[in-house]
Amino acid sequence: MNPTPLPAPSIPPGDGYVQSFARGLAVIRSFSAEAPAQTLSEVAQRAGLTRAGARRILLTLQTLGYVESEGRLFRLTPKILDLGFAYLSSLPLWQRAEPVMQALVAEVHESCSAAVLDGPDIVYVLRVPTHKIMSINLGIGSRLPAYCTSMGRVLLADLGQEERERRLALRPPQALTSHTLTDAQAIAASIDAVRREGYSLVDQELEEGLVSMAVAIRDRSGRAVAALNISGQANRTPPAMMREQLLPKLQAAAGEIARLLAA
């Protein structure tokens, strides 16, 4: 289950701000795994709009094919994926990275994912699964909190302290398992360790039984543009084994993707 969507940022209207467009995005964001189909009143409430305003936007989206209705319920259509795939198709990195990730999965027999940082969350941009290892259904576009994920900590470690703290403050840590770090100082220490060691290993902080390890994918300037991880079950691939046997392979895959990016 994805975390509750963050409210849209409060931006004062100005010459460069189109309020009606922002409201349309708020309506789209109101749909989620927890609310895949909604009444007009529910959309208005979740988007922070009047019923009349929400109705105009829903009807516009329906005319354009992004929303469909059945009785009193509205839901998104598959056409909404065009908006997300426009991002993926505009970045050739992801097209080049997928074969590298598939080869890594074939070698280590564990799931592999790539994600970018968006606010306090990571957003999955590629995923090559093997076994069903999580109760969470993850796919392209899925969001998870950065503070308790290996890819999130790798990407947070690349930020300056002030920017890192600002992002973490947007989603206060919650204990998702008995292992989750929630103390701000403990999380900061973990991220500092990632900066020193060059990788992150998260042991059952996101979900009981799940262990994950991630490294950064860097551009020519050395900036972390994404993170690459492998994840598995702690009883099958314990942290020590993952670190000793799989880390070099993960680093090599990230290096190959970085090379393709530079090319």
Which residue, 253, 166, 262, is CA-closest to 213?
Answer: 253
Burial of 4 (0-12, 13-18, 19+ CB in 10 A): exposed
- Given pLDDT bands bounded at 50, 70 and 90, which one contains residue 140? confident
Confidence bin at 4 (pLDDT 50/70/90):
very low
Residue 128 pairs with which residues in a beta bridge? 112
Q: What is the pLDDT of residue 130?
A: 83
Transcribe 53-66 into DSSP letters.
Answer: HHHHHHHHHHHHTS
Q: Where are the alpha helices (DSSP H) in 91-228?
A: 92-108, 150-157, 161-170, 184-197
Q: How confident is the model at residue 3 (pLDDT cuts 50, 70, 90)?
A: very low
Q: Which residue has the higher pLDDT, 94 or 56?
A: 56
**DSSP bridge partners of 150:** none
Percent of the residues in the chain that have a pLDDT greater than 90, as a whole number: 68
Q: What is the mean pLDDT of the chain?
A: 88
> Quick one: pLDDT at residue 167?
94
Contacts 24+ apart (CB under 8 A), 25-30: 27/54, 27/57, 27/58, 27/61, 28/61, 28/66, 28/76, 28/80, 29/5
Under DSSP, is residue 75 helix (H, G, I), strand (E, B) or coil? strand
pLDDT digits 0-9 by tens, 109-129:
999 999 999 899 998 888 998
DSSP track, 235-249: TTS-HHHIIIIIHHH
Q: Positive or negative CA dihedral for 246, 161, 88, 90?
A: negative
DSSP class per residue in 109-139 = -SEEEEEEEETTEEEEEEEE--S---SS---
pLDDT in tens, 164-175: 999 999 999 999
pTM, rounded to two decimals: 0.74
Q: What is the pLDDT of residues 25-54, one digit of tens each?
A: 999 999 987 899 999 999 999 999 999 999
CA 214 – CA 152 distance, rounded (Å) = 9
Alpha-carbon distance values, 15 to 18, 50, 73 (Å): 8, 24, 35
CA dist 57 to 3, 33, 51, 64, Å? 25, 21, 10, 11
pLDDT at 107 over 50: yes
pLDDT in tens, 51-91: 999 999 999 999 999 999 999 999 999 888 777 766 666 66
CB 140 within 8 A of CB 88: yes
Tens digits of residue pLDDT in 204-247? 999 999 999 999 999 989 999 999 999 999 998 999 999 999 99
